């Protein structure tokens, strides 16, 4: 083996022994991972007294980075449109999963809970509804949230 081949082999061995992936803890999430305004769409179904009901809508949350949020949704359930303000709380685990709990602050009232996963360094999150066991007419809703502005 000549000197050039030996040098190339030594360089390759050194480069390949260095991990090419990020440390698993480099991207831990926290409450602060979610901060700013997020727009979202949601869709799903619910059981009602007359059968399955289609649900869909849009919304916006203002998330503070400390565990609380405020927002509003516009929902359409089989053609019935509702615009509903809400307040809520959220949790975030280091693995970028968590929960959201919201209370609707209109005359109808109500409470909803969701599991979440954070994507794209906190610029996006996805949720699925998590109604309590035995809930009457539980909805199955999924949503995709996207950060509205990059300056936050």
Query: pLDDT truncated to tens, each residue of the chain (152 aa)?
Result: 565 554 445 444 444 444 444 455 568 999 999 999 999 999 999 888 888 999 999 999 999 999 999 999 999 999 999 999 999 999 999 999 999 999 999 999 999 999 999 999 999 999 999 998 888 778 899 999 999 998 64
Delineate the domains of the chain, giving CATH numbers in brackets: 25-147 (2.40.128)
Query: Residue holding tokens 């359930």?
Result: 77
Of residues 82, 81, 58, 59, the one with CA closest to residue 71: 59
Chain centroid to CA 4: how far?
52
Reported pTM: 0.80
């Amino acid at each position: 083996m000549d000197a050039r081949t030996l040098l190339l082999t030594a360089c390759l061995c050194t480069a390949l022994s260095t991990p090419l992936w990020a440390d698993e803890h480099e991207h831990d999430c926290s409450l602060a991972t979610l901060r700013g305004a997020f727009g979202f769409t949601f869709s799903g179904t619910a059981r009602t007294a007359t059968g399955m009901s289609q649900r869909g809508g849009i919304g916006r949350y203002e998330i503070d980075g400390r565990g609380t949020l405020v927002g509003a949704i516009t929902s359409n359930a089989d053609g019935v449109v509702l615009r509903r303000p809400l307040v809520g709380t959220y949790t975030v685990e280091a693995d970028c999963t968590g929960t959201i709990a919201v209370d609707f602050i209109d005359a109808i009232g109500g409470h909803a809970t969701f599991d979440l996963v954070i994507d794209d360094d906190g610029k996006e999150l996805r949720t699925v509804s998590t109604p309590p066991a035995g809930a009457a007419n539980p909805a199955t809703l999924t949503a995709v949230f996207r950060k509205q502005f990059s300056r936050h």
